[in-house]
Structure 1
């Protein structure tokens, strides 16, 4: 064995600050060149943590939050739950987010988080996710895990600029 094992566990309220740091630094690392730099530079860890604590404390339990921990340090975070399509419930699951401390990308932590999120959604027929069209590294990561683009594409706005996202899907049953 070449180091401490990665432990995947449910996120706790006390993890919000570190999860926000990972999310903000993850955006700034992964989306450089894909989202306007001014938008990325304006992301604020403290404000994100405040929003995260409020959502976490007032949550209904429909959103699952996982953290990846190694030797007591949180290195990654994933969130999943029912698919949010804006219409009637589709009955599918969605991976809302998965981010890693940029220093630990490529070390199997993302794979461990994704595997656990998928396992916790096994009762759903499918899992969907949205990924930036230009994020080829993330797209390869999801494709290696069995996700495929389903043809849906939508932009979201970041700093006044539309950024295209693709929807991916993985069959979880049958």
Structure 2
């Protein structure tokens, strides 16, 4: 059974483990290996703890538990657009332990994200995904997201890594 609940400060270490292991698995061959090798669960937990402590109240973090263990995490909040354009939501991050992929964890987290977008009355939810991350892109497409034509490159470990933006219209989507 999968339990999705709000993240607490007590979850920070487990979330850092999920995030670092998720990066190392999902992005192997897509970002510089030295960058992945240098990722530290301890440092990620320190950063995540500081981020939670100064939280703005507009972000939502959820963890997925299976058998009492945190096996997934998602972070969602507002997407700021230039003045005058509609404001929606953004899925900032979603990771699942590698051995828990394709078990429904990501789907369960995505349902909570979409439901939160609906609860907030948002017109859409956007996210960025590495252009070459075919499994990630397939996952988001199965959840109803579509590329919206925007592309950028992020600098990861000194290497430009192309990303594409996806959008899910909440005026047509159901949680």
TM interval, shorter chain, is over 0.9
Give runs of ≥4 in structure 1 deviating > 6 Å. Answer: none
Tell me the CA shift for residue 60 of structure 1.
Answer: 1.3
Report whether the alignment pairs 1:16 with 2:12.
yes
2:166 corresponds, among 150, 155, 168, to 168
Alpha-carbon deviations, 1:96-144, whole Å to 9, x = none? Answer: 0000011101101000001111101111000000000000001000001
Give the match for residue 146 of structure 1: 144
For residues 77 and 51 of structure 2, the distance between their equivalents in structure 1, rounded to whole angstroms, comes to: 14
Is 2:130 the partner of 1:132?
A: yes
SS at the partner of 1:20? helix
Tell me if structure 2 keeps the 8 A contact 1:128–1:167: yes
Q: Mark the runs of 5 or more structure 1 residues left unpaired by the alignment.
A: none
Q: Structure 1 residue 59 and structure 2 residue 62: aligned?
A: no
- TM-score, length basis structure 2: 0.94
Q: Counterparts of 1:62 and 1:46 in 2: how far apart (Å)?
A: 26
- Which of 92, 95, 102 aligns to 1:99? It is 95
Give the Cα separation in 1 of the matches to 2:74 and 2:80. Answer: 16
Is 1:76 paired with 2:72?
Answer: yes
Structure 2 alignment gaps of length 5 or more:
none
Distance 1:63 1:164 in 2: 25
Partner SS state of residue 136, structure 2:
helix
* Aligned-pair Cα RMSD in Å: 1.1
Count of residue pairs the alignment pairs up: 169
Deviation for aligned residue 1:90 = 4.0
